[in-house]
């Protein structure tokens, strides 16, 4: 029996007002527990697509379903079912301490008691934040900030976790911290979509690679099937002495 995908986008089109279309009939699915990488050159429409999915922009055409429910006309339901970690992790921080920051969203929803404690302890453990709970978010390192942003989104219990350029401006340690967290979440069964043009940092962990260009899906398949195309669409495929680096080496984890 075919499993219902966690996220299904069908023929999503979008433009700002009357200007030229930014997204053109974008279709793809994210299966339960899958690790999907979405790539494409700058300006290909990745971030706009995420905002359409999340309900921050309303597509001009197409449908978006979460776990088989059609939320195309319900942007608030999309907002609460999709956990989106923005590129600028600091913009998502609101609390005076790491602990306050993680709890903020739950308090807004009025979630308290055992449920609040359970969710808090789960995400703190998964993202290795326990030594940092009393620290001010502003004083965290880049990788710690990004992990906090992931925790703040994950504690809301989204159906799918999407990260927009999660490796931007991180050093080696920061990239490794974030990657370790993502791999741990995937192992636990979370569906994850990582949006990045830096595929050499993460692709070894992915089940699926979607290549976007000019607002269209160019390819969507196993990474091994799509990898040979990416350079034609402005995404670097790492090579050494003229030969492509093997897929399993495309990670910054040791
Ligand atoms: N608020 C906006 N108003 C008008 N055009 C925009 C806006 N945001 C993005 N765009 C345009 O949409 C296209 C896709 O942008 P974006 O999704 O941010 O690209 P990516 O994330 O793939 O680098 C670009 O041509 C960009 O200039
Ligand atoms: Mg972007």
* Domain edges within the chain: 7-87+160-249
Ligand located closest to 26 CA: 1
pLDDT over 80 (residue 1): no
The pocket of ion ligand 2, defined by CB under 5 A, consists of: 46-47
Residues 93-119: pLDDT tens digits?
A: 888 999 999 999 899 889 999 999 999
- Of 218, 138, 128, 217, nearest to 176 by C-alpha is 128
pLDDT at 42: 96
Interatomic CA distance for residues 232 and 162, integer angstroms: 25
Residues 175-208: pLDDT tens digits?
A: 999 999 999 999 999 999 999 999 999 999 999 9
**Residue 238 and residue 197 in contact, taking contact as beta carbons nearer than 8 Å:** no
Class of domain 7-87+160-249: alpha beta
User: How confident is the prediction for the chain on average, in pLDDT?
Assistant: 95
Q: Is 43 in the pocket of ligand 1 (CB under 6 A)?
A: yes
Residues 40-69: pLDDT tens digits?
A: 999 999 999 999 999 999 999 999 999 999
Output the residue whose Cα is nearest ligand 1's atom 24.
43
Interatomic CA distance for residues 149 and 200, integer angstroms: 23
The alpha carbon of residue 79 and the mean position of all alpha carbons in its chain are separated, in whole angstroms, by: 14
What percent of the chain shows pLDDT beyond 70?
100
CA distances to 20, 106, 147, 181 from 13, rounded to whole Å, are 11, 33, 32, 33
pLDDT over 80 (residue 89): no
């Amino acid at each position: 029996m075919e499993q219902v995908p966690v996220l299904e986008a069908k023929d999503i089109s979008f433009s700002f007002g009357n200007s030229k279309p930014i997204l053109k009939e974008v279709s793809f699915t994210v299966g339960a527990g899958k690790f999907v990488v979405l790539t494409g050159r700058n300006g290909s429409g990745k971030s706009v697509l995420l905002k359409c999915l999340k309900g921050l922009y309303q597509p001009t055409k197409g449908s978006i379903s979460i776990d088989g429910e059609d939320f195309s006309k319900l942007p608030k339901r999309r907002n609460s079912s999709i956990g989106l970690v923005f590129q600028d992790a600091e913009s998502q921080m609101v609390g005076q301490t790491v602990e306050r920051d993680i709890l903020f969203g739950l308090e807004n929803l009025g979630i308290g008691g055992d449920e609040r404690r359970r969710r808090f302890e789960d995400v703190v453990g998964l993202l290795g934040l326990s030594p940092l709970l009393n620290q001010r978010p502003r004083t965290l390192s880049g990788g710690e900030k990004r992990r906090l942003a992931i925790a703040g989104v994950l504690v809301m219990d989204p159906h799918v976790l999407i990260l927009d350029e999660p490796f931007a401006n991180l050093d080696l340690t920061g990239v490794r911290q974030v990657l370790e967290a993502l791999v741990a979440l995937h192992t636990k069964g979370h569906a994850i979509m990582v949006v990045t043009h830096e595929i050499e940092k993460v692709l070894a962990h992915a089940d699926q690679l979607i290549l976007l260009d000019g607002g269209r899906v160019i390819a969507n398949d196993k990474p091994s099937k799509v990898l040979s195309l990416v350079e034609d669409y402005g995404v670097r495929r790492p090579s050494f002495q003229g030969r492509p680096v093997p897929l399993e080496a495309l990670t910054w984890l040791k």
